[in-house]
Amino acid sequence: GNSVTQMEGPVTLSEEAFLTINCTYTATGYPSLFWYVQYPGEGLQLLLKATKADDKGSNKGFEATYRKETTSFHLEKGSVQVSDSAVYFCALSDRNTGNQFYFGTGTSLTVIP
């Protein structure tokens, strides 16, 4: 079946530090992969996505590369800001094998000045 395993949090970083949040997946087909961000008191917003192997999604300085050989989609940012403090969710959706999204448990990030 399909599933997503995400790095446990919480993560606390100083401003301008490098961020990596690990995400690995299990899928029976060829899924699309997503990172969503949830700011306090808000719903989830799409941060970036990749639809096939070796694709790199990027947005707001965040990047993630779809690695089929390691079944991973790790989120990275070179220099985090206080405004990046949020909960980050890795997710997959496979149009060929199901109708739903599969989410990781979320990783809480706090960036301190």
Partner 1 sequence: NAGVTQTPKFRILKIGQSMTLQCAQDMNHNYMYWYRQDPGMGLKLIYYSVGAGITDKGEVPNGYNVSRSTTEDFPLRLELAAPSQTSVYFCASTAVRGTEAFFGQGTRLTVV
Residues that bind partner 1 (CB under 8 A): 31-32, 34, 36, 42-46, 49, 51, 89, 91, 93-96, 98-101, 103-106
Comparison of 46 and 82: residue with beta carbon closer to partner 1: 46
Comparison of 10 and 78: residue with beta carbon closer to partner 1: 10
Comparison of 77 and 106: residue with beta carbon closer to partner 1: 106
58: left (phi over 0), alpha (psi -120 to 50) or beta: beta
Q: How far is the CB of 15 from partner 1 (least distance, A)?
A: 26
Q: How far is the CB of 32 from partner 1 (least distance, A)?
A: 5
What is the three-state SS of 7-37? CCCCEEEECCCCEEECEEEECCCCCEEEEEE
Comparison of 36 and 66: residue with beta carbon closer to partner 1: 36
**91 with 101: CB under 8 angstroms?**
yes
- Token duo for residue 7: 């790095």
- Read off φ and ψ for residue 58, nearest 5 degrees: -150, 150
Q: How far is the CB of 60 from partner 1 (least distance, A)?
A: 16
